[in-house]
Amino acid sequence: MSSTRRSRLARLASLLQAAPHLAPAYEEAKRVVRAFRKPAFYEVATRCNLFCEGCYYFSDDFKPIKDVEDIGTWDRFFAAEAERGVTMAYFVGAEPALHQDRLIAASRYFPYGNIGSNGTVRIDPAVPYRIGVSVWGVDADTDADLRGGRSFHKAIRNYAGDPRAILLFTLTKTNIGDARRLAEIGRDNGLPVTFNMYSPTQTYLRKLTEGEGNDRAFFRISSTGSNLLWDDESLGEVRRTMDGLIEDFPDTVVYSKAYNAWATQSGPLYDIDPETGIARDCHSRMVGQMRYFKTDLQQGNEKCGTSDAVCSECRMYSGGWSSKFEPRDVDLVSEASLADWLEMIATLGRIFLIERDASRQATLAA
């Protein structure tokens, strides 16, 4: 154990001793973090039915690979991964709902899972994992502009009342005004709402820098003068908007003021290696025991769960929340800062985890 970690643990113990009322929340935080003790990412699809502006998946260097088609091979692969001790499985790719047989196979083996989906195809109720239903706009024109097609209302019809689903609104400078309406729709349809902040990819930044013309796929509306990049003014607007929604929709909006303050601060959120440009302290990195597998079931060389993302510009929810698993020095300054960290971990659990028994409600309702 490093001296830094020993020092933090000592400070944590001291704070808990001085504030024993925080002990139950700390025990719950440990339970939540244990679910993520050995995560892995699995691409289950390399095709999608939408064309999101600045897509995270289809990058400059995207090269189609030959999928393993045999579901028995997938089943054996997931069984081996479970034997390796994977506790949290992230199912990613272009659109995982287009290969549901692979999701069903995985559900036999992993205690926790999280699926990123655009919501246009309902995932079989037999899959007992959290489904982050990606939303980019409520207004029909905004939805179509940012996704290449109108998908929002179809997603609501597919997942209204489904205990597995949480609406994941990707915030951009162009859709902040939709956030309150989304909270209202989530409330009225039995769907919790959380937030992601658009983070540019290397591909997107290159197209902006080089003044590349718009296309009919993943760069339809952006230009050097009008794009999705954040600035201090828009970050401030997001911070104020999210804080207001947390207060006004406590039973629907699953977010944290402490996390919101961190995610909307000016400048890079991570310690960036000046030579490589890669974040050294992001817990979505493929380091240690973390693995990323492609649809040929071979381990990929991705730097993180969203490999094309620019680390110095990244505010993505996956990397952000995973980087909160352990308290840092700033979280251990006072009782108040520790309480904020504990609240962030409780929120993280609500965003990413559902107990498998809860998902049976979806099966019964189908």
Q: Do residues 74 and 105 make contact, with C-beta atoms less than 8 angstroms apart?
A: yes
Give whole-number Cα distances, 35 to 77, 113, 189, 322, in Å.
Answer: 21, 10, 28, 12
What is the mean pLDDT for each group of 10 consecutive residues in the chain (366 residues)? Answer: 90 97 98 96 95 91 90 98 97 96 98 97 97 95 92 96 98 95 98 97 96 95 95 97 98 98 97 96 93 96 94 97 96 98 98 75 42
Provide the CB-side half-sphere exposure for 206 (13 A, CA). Answer: 9
Amino acid in the structure at residue 47 = R
What is the C-alpha R_g of the chain?
20
Q: Kindly give, in sequence order, each residue whose CB lies less than 8 Å from that of residue 38, ignoring residues fewer than 6 positions away.
A: 84, 85, 86, 87, 88, 289
User: What whole-number distance in Å separates Cα of residue 71 and Cα of residue 64?
Assistant: 19
pTM over 0.85: yes
- Residue-wise burial string across 338-347, b where 16 or more C-beta atoms lie within 10 A, e elsewhere: bbbbbbbbeb
What's the DSSP call for residue 26? H
User: What whole-number distance in Å separates Cα of residue 261 and Cα of residue 343?
Assistant: 13
User: What whole-number distance in Å separates Cα of residue 162 and Cα of residue 75?
Assistant: 26
Instruction: Return the pLDDT at 331.
Output: 97
Q: Do residues 131 and 166 make contact, with C-beta atoms less than 8 angstroms apart?
A: yes
CATH class, domain 3-365, is alpha beta
Q: Do residues 196 and 238 make contact, with C-beta atoms less than 8 angstroms apart?
A: no
Instruction: Return the pLDDT at 175.
Output: 94
